[in-house]
Amino acid sequence: MTRPPARLLSLATLAGTLAVLCFPLIFRGEVIFPHENRLEVGLAPCADPEVRINRVLSDHPMAFVPELNEQLRGDRSGWIATWTPHVELGRPTAHVSGFSRAFVVTRLLALGSSDPLRVYTWLALLAIGLTAVFGWLLFAELGLRPAAGLTGALGLSAGLFMTARTTFVMFLWGVCWTVALLWLSAGFLRRPRLAFGLGVAFCVHAMFLTAYPQQIVWHGYLLGGFALLCAVHGTAPPRRRLWALALLAACAIVGLVSVAPVYLDLALNARRSARLEVPDEFFTRKLLTLQGWRDAALFWAQSFDTLWVRNPVDGLREPLRFGGSFGAMSFTPLFALLAVCSASRALLRRLWPLHVFVAACLVLTFWREGFLFGLHHAGLGLSRFRPLQALHVPVVVAAAYAADAALRGHLRSRWAATALVLFLVGAALYGFRTAGLELQPADTAIGLALAAATLAFLLRPRPLLLGLCAVGTVLAYGMRVQLTRAPGDIRLDSPLVQEVREATRDGSRFAWLDAGREAPPILPPNEELLLDVRSIHTYDSLSSRDYQRFVLRLSKQGTLVYGRRYLTLASGPGLDPGELSLAGVGLLLCPERLSPKLVREQRTEGTVHLGRTRRPPLLEAQVLEFEVPAPGSARCNPAPSAAAVERTLSRDDDLRFAVTPEPRASLLFVSQQYHPQWRAWADGIAADAVEVNDFYQGVLLPPGTREVELAFRPWVRWSWIPQVAFALAALVCVARRLRRPAPAP
């Protein structure tokens, strides 16, 4: 029986390892979810101590899954959901991070299911699987031995950074498209081909639609440097290499232009928010400091194997000296030791750009002045992102090169390898012990065993031993950090949710009163999109300045983190019932009994008191007395209108009203947040959509108007065009391939 080629065997091993790693998601039907969520819907929390509760990763259930749910189930008028009325008195939906139909993969997956938990899980699995394939292709293109390529592909796709971040799928996609672009760039610069050029354009397009913004910047520097090096070290004539580099840049520009429909809207919303006006301290809080050798040893210990003292997904906010989120940057013994070995003389000449990039990330993590320079001049001010989080790809690539060098016999000094491994393992143990952290016996034993196996490989390089180390590392660490649950264990309904849903079925909203406490973790903001209820609260990094000023009219508490969160109304004499009515608030929730001055009747559901407001919510009104102080704005004192107004169509992004014909101009007041991309028509003729009282939506109606339509028309509605263009271009590539004559026998 003929043995399969080593490269195909490595591919089969890669697929089999990922199948075992993702067994709960692929074969048991579980979904990615960070914690038991009974408390969030108003039920008694689970008392089982074995159930993992990780509310540190609350962005997954509070932002990502609800946003995806709006795309899958939102009451939209077009092919893509563009506006949600559930929070913030209405706001545009998000179209980055891969949770929108603007990303063609999400659009295709939506054909298979409307369950956001299921589709989110598919997105994460697809990101991991594609990263594995692209990694395997990259290392084959670079000429690495199959066992080294398998090690690198497993590290890129299923290393601890990836498996511990499945609840943040945008980080996974950032790695996926970066690895794809590394492969495509190397192949294109070696031999420019239409298919590779199209792949570069699509991967750039996909990265900007799915990856974390600051991750795109860091990986952009990595990709640019890699492309330049491939061009410099190519074997073709210099003029041909320069031409190939120019064509590669043109393909990348095409991909960048293709995301214009999404990014034009994003730029508009960012300009209207307070997010572009944050001080430097907002970003520098993520930087780390070293105060002596003990800190340096602890830093290395966490980078080497943080599971020796704690699991990075356990949910403890700041369990270690360098912060909770740093734990997920642990590289594990195999990849950490191999990456250090890549600094040997045999590889330094080839890999020095990777080492420079790694050094820059490390320096900027600790050097505040250098980071501030990057913040102001190098695009590092898009979002809070530790430079360390950009290390995953270069460290794993360096480790794969070191494994390949060992297999080729280029790492020959056994004494040096033994001394280096023993020193690095000892430094990790010293770092944890001097910090007073208790080692976990079983986890420490696993880490030491893998470190010993790595040393054995360095002393006696064998492909089988390397493959076993890589597979063992991925399974031993990846299976312990997965945050998965059976769909039936996730609560998306409760008596409290049903009460709120019924009370706001008319389109009105609820609001939390804080009663002098911090906000309860019940019905956290933005989960309204998932539970089909409406509130005035928000969890939105780009909430508008108008909204932030508006909440100060309701109470003096205001929003938090530059408008990102608005959690509760501050109860007290400053609370204006009239403003609550204009905001469409018909239901108040509070951990304590509500004042009879605010509510007509109240009841209790679990630990929450619910009461209907004394002044009914005013959702729309036709106002006759108003003024227009400036184009695009109006001022009035809306009240229940004597002129009849009837909402004849109520979709998320399309509203229609039957109004009373008046002999003079009037103003239609709508209790939702104004946005400049709402368009209005009065009896089929374009009308002026205006901002009422510096916040609300309004329409100026000519005399005699009978019907009004409001429709939200952002640029993202045109994002189907690049999707069609990429599909047609792919068909052209396939047709060219099929028409190519077969090679002569």
- Do 332 and 393 meet the contact criterion of CB atoms below 8 Å apart? no
What is the average pLDDT across 474-484? 92
The pLDDT, as a whole number, for residue 496 is: 95
In this predicted model, what pLDDT tens digit does every residue of 374-407 receive, in sequence order?
Answer: 999 999 988 888 899 999 999 999 999 999 999 9
Query: Residue 501: pLDDT above 60?
Result: yes
Query: Residue 442: pLDDT above 70?
Result: yes
What is the average pLDDT across 403-426? 90
Tokens for 645? Answer: 């107004």
Query: Residue 319: pLDDT above 70?
Result: no
Q: List 646's β-bridge partners, or say none.
A: 658
The pLDDT, as a whole number, for residue 514 is: 81
Confidence of residue 286 (pLDDT cuts 50, 70, 90): confident
Confidence of residue 314 (pLDDT cuts 50, 70, 90): confident
The pLDDT, as a whole number, for residue 316 is: 52
φ and ψ of 207, to 5 deg: -60, -45
Taking each helix axis as running N to C, give the angle between helix 146-158 and helix 463-478, from 0 to 180 degrees, rounded to the nearest 10: 10
In this predicted model, what pLDDT tens digit does every residue of 616-672 receive, in sequence order?
Answer: 999 999 999 999 999 999 999 888 777 889 999 999 999 999 999 999 999 999 999
- Do 609 and 592 meet the contact criterion of CB atoms below 8 Å apart? yes
Say how many C-beta atoms besides its own lie within 10 A of residue 184's C-beta. 28
Nearest alpha-carbon partner for 110 in 134, 85, 86, 74: 74
What is the average pLDDT across 168-174? 96
- Predicted structure pTM score: 0.94
Residue 2: partners with Cβ closer than 8 Å, 6 or more residues away: none
What residue spans of 74-115 are helical by DSSP H? Answer: 104-109
- Do 283 and 387 meet the contact criterion of CB atoms below 8 Å apart? no
Give the residue, 606 or 701, on which the prediction is more confident. 701
Q: What percent of the chain shows pLDDT beyond 90?
A: 71
- Do 581 and 613 meet the contact criterion of CB atoms below 8 Å apart? yes
* Average pLDDT of the chain, as a whole number: 90
The pLDDT, as a whole number, for residue 560 is: 79
- Do 87 and 564 meet the contact criterion of CB atoms below 8 Å apart? no
Taking each helix axis as running N to C, give the angle between helix 441-459 and helix 463-478, from 0 to 180 degrees, rounded to the nearest 10: 160
Query: Residue 327: pLDDT above 80?
Result: no
Residue 349: partners with Cβ closer than 8 Å, 6 or more residues away: none
What is the average pLDDT across 128-143? 96
Tokens for 319? Answer: 């369990």
**Which range among 368-382, 409-423, 465-479, 679-693 shows the weakest confidence by mean pLDDT?**
409-423
Nearest alpha-carbon partner for 350 in 404, 409, 392, 304: 404
Query: Residue 317: pLDDT above 80?
Result: no
What is the average pLDDT across 295-323? 76
Q: List 604's β-bridge partners, or say none.
A: 609
- Do 696 and 661 meet the contact criterion of CB atoms below 8 Å apart? no
Confidence of residue 289 (pLDDT cuts 50, 70, 90): confident
Helix count and strand count (H, E) for the chain: 27, 20
What is the average pLDDT across 720-724? 97
What is the average pLDDT across 411-418? 83
The pLDDT, as a whole number, for residue 533 is: 95
In this predicted model, what pLDDT tens digit does every residue of 541-584 receive, in sequence order?
Answer: 999 999 999 988 887 777 777 888 888 887 766 678 888 999 99
The pLDDT, as a whole number, for residue 234 is: 80
- Cα distances (angstroms) measured from residue 133 to each of 138, 160, 685: 9, 18, 54
Q: List 701's β-bridge partners, or say none.
A: 666
The pLDDT, as a whole number, for residue 158 is: 96
Confidence of residue 325 (pLDDT cuts 50, 70, 90): very low
Give the burial class of 724: count Cβ atoms within 10 A of its Cβ; 0-12 exposed, 13-18 middle, 19 or more buried: exposed
In this predicted model, what pLDDT tens digit does every residue of 180-225 receive, in sequence order?
Answer: 999 999 999 998 999 999 999 999 999 999 999 999 999 999 999 9
The pLDDT, as a whole number, for residue 51 is: 66
The pLDDT, as a whole number, for residue 323 is: 47
In the 3-class helix/strand/coil scheme, how is 271-308 assigned residue by residue? HHECHHHCCCHHHHCCCCCCCCHHHHHHHHHHHHHHHH
Query: Residue 740: pLDDT above 90?
Result: no
The pLDDT, as a whole number, for residue 554 is: 82
Tokens for 396? Answer: 């794993």
In this predicted model, what pLDDT tens digit does every residue of 362-371 receive, in sequence order?
Answer: 999 999 999 9
